[in-house]
Amino acid sequence: MKRSRLLLVLAFEALICIAFSIWSGGQKDLLFSVMAFPFVQIGAILRKISLSGTTGNIISIVLYSVFCLLPSVYVMIRVRRKAARREDGLLLLLSIVLFAVIYMMINPADITRHFGSPELIDVNKAFLGLVIYGIIAGYLVLRALWLFSNSETGYMLRYLKILLRIVCIVLVYGIFGVGLKSLSGSFKDFAAANTDSGQALYLSYVFIILQHLIDILPYALNIVIIFSGLNLIDELIIDPYSMKVTLTAQKTGGICRISVIVIMLSQIALNILQLMLGAYICSIHYTFNVPLLSIAFMLSVMLLTRYFIQGRELKHDVDSII
């Protein structure tokens, strides 16, 4: 996937997240529906077919069994091709869990009977969906781990590009999906806590937005770093000891260094502004939230780029001696 195409995908995802956030109005019910998708819909369709009559009931049972057995069938195909791995056992587990989860989606009363609390049925449906997604994610991660450890450098770099693109998609969701919902919730909580019409709340809303921007800043900077890292990987695939690798590595390292500085200084600046304007702000959020994961990622990229630069310099020295 080219950079321009990836940008289009991320932009489309951002638009969907924004529309989703506006449509949901900050409600959690829609989020639970997303977590349970498409298993709730599959259960509803199978239930409707089953209730249509004896023939419909038989068709529903067949469709239910086929859908739940799909992961196991895939494992059998891999076994027949002698390509099965230990992590494929998670697919067998997935089939078992699908039988239980889809059955409860077909018969929602069983969800209440199993978990209790009828008023939390939507939450429990979301939990059932997350259980399935957790198994799928575990399989994909273990599968990727095996591919990384049993591949040549060129293939590892290509797999790394795929992983970085997935990370970009997750980061965009964090910015425009979870981030916007969090901002909307902050607005509502602040409005509920400040009902005095005589208060000037505009400046407070501005600072809530600034706090939100600082919270999502590491995500945005990580995306910039990943794009630079993708360019570096492309150069490494072509020639790991070329001058372009050195230049791209230096650029990526510089972006990481600037990103860490921007993250820390932005928090300091916001705290100082709130300290100076404390009397005019009704909602103050002094923050010392160091995004350790983001900073660790940036420092790791800086370290790797330094190794690439040193590797090229070492090869150049060896070639000059020869």
DSSP letter string, 73-136: HHHHHHHHTT---GGGHHHHHHHHHHHHHHHHHHSHHHHHHHH--GGGHHHHHHHHHHHHHHHH
pTM above 0.85, yes or no: no
Residue 73's region, left for phi above 0, alpha for psi from -120 to 50, else beta, is alpha
The mean pLDDT value of the chain amounts to 83
pLDDT for res 59: 95
pLDDT for res 12: 92
Q: How far is C-alpha 130 from the geometric centre of its chain's CA atoms? A: 14
Instruction: Indicate if the pLDDT at residue 118 is higher than 90.
Output: no
Residue 25's region, left for phi above 0, alpha for psi from -120 to 50, else beta, is left
pLDDT for res 293: 67
pLDDT for res 154: 73
Of 70-79, 153-162, 250-259, the range with the lowest mean pLDDT is 153-162
**Mean pLDDT, range 138-153, rounded to an integer:** 80
45 contact partners, CB below 8 Å, separation of at least 6: none
CA distances for 311 relative to 109, 156, 257, angstroms: 63, 18, 21
Instruction: Indicate if the pLDDT at residue 33 is higher than 80.
Output: no
Going by pLDDT thresholds of 50, 70 and 90, the confidence category of residue 77 is: very high
- The b/e string for 49-81 (b: 16+ C-beta within 10 A; e otherwise) is bbeeeeeeeeebeebbeebbeebbeebeeeeee
**Mean pLDDT, range 202-216, rounded to an integer:** 84
- What tokens appear for 2 in the block? 């080219």
- What tokens appear for 171 in the block? 């980061």
Q: Which residue has the higher pLDDT, 197 or 274?
A: 274
